[in-house]
Amino acid sequence: NAGVTQTPKFRVLKTGQSMTLLCAQDMNHEYMYWYRQDPGMGLRLIHYSVGEGTTAKGEVPDGYNVSRLKKQNFLLGLESAAPSQTSVYFCASSWHTDWQNEQFFGPGTRLTVL
Amino acid sequence: KNEVEQSPQNLTAQEGEFITINCSYSVGISALHWLQQHPGGGIVSLFMLSSGKKKHGRLIATINIQEKHSSLHITASHPRDSAVYICAPRDGGKLIFGQGTTLQVKP
């Protein structure tokens, strides 16, 4: 099993460009999450999904949109990239949000917006 | 004030030393996770605990829910333990992540 994979691993955008980050998991997990990690700060939740066809806002959702059309995929979109969105993005998945359930993380996508 | 405070922020140790990383939080929680982020960026879960103590190999995690405090201990530290260790209390259905403690273990 590949676990949680993210595409692409690196990307450089110009301000105003758009892009989509893809997260895929092969563990049949119900819950999926998108986080961003910035220097000196803990991981922050952008959006999450509790199942196919559902999405919800996290702590820092502005400037991002998400979709969960298939259970195994969770897409994060930037419609008009801004330099403030320069960050490392991590996707994660879990069976449930119950405390006993471990979150499995992808390898991360390093995004730079010029 | 951050909801999750880790100390120290940075730690350098000699191989073989006993290491303690502390985590204090201000929110009411149902459980707490400890995560390890490797120098290459990958994040793995080390522990999930809601009370008492858990042990896995040379790693021990403890939590005191009443005092809102958790500790991660590493016995007989090794250079391969060099990583960022992240405390993440669970508030409802969401994890709240600390800034992390950067550990370097020198041979």
Sign for the pseudo-dihedral over CA of B100, A88, A85, B29? negative
**What would the pLDDT profile of B52-92 be if each residue is shown by its tens digit?**
999 999 999 999 988 999 999 999 999 999 999 999 998 87
User: Which whole number is the average pLDDT over A48-60?
Assistant: 93
Subunit contact A103:B94, Cβ cutoff 8 A: no
Judged by CB atoms within 8 Å, which residues 2-61 of A form the interface with B? 35, 40-45, 48, 58
- If pLDDT is split at 50, 70 and 90, which confidence band does A67 have? very high
Mean per-residue pLDDT of chain B = 92
A48 and A34 Cβ atoms separated by less than 8 Å = yes
What are the strands, taking DSSP E only, across A38-108?
Answer: 44-49, 56-57, 65-67, 73-78, 87-94, 104-105
Count of A-B CB contacts under 8 Å: 49
A13 and A19 Cβ atoms separated by less than 8 Å = yes
Q: What torsion do the CA atoms of A75, A59, A42, B36 make, to the nearest 10 degrees? A: -50
Cis peptide before B8 (omega within 30 of 0): yes
B74 and B15 Cβ atoms separated by less than 8 Å = no
Q: Among partner residues B31, B43, B99, which is closest to A41 by beta-carbon distance? A: B99
**What would the pLDDT profile of A18-45 be if each residue is shown by its tens digit?**
999 999 999 999 999 999 999 888 899 9
* Per-residue pLDDT at A97 exceeds 80: no
Rounded Cα distance, A33 and B94, in Å: 10
Q: Tell me the nearest-neighbour CA distance from B107 into chain A, angstroms.
A: 27
In degrees, rounded to 5, the angle at the alpha carbon of residue B1 between the alpha carbons of residues A111 and B5 is: 70
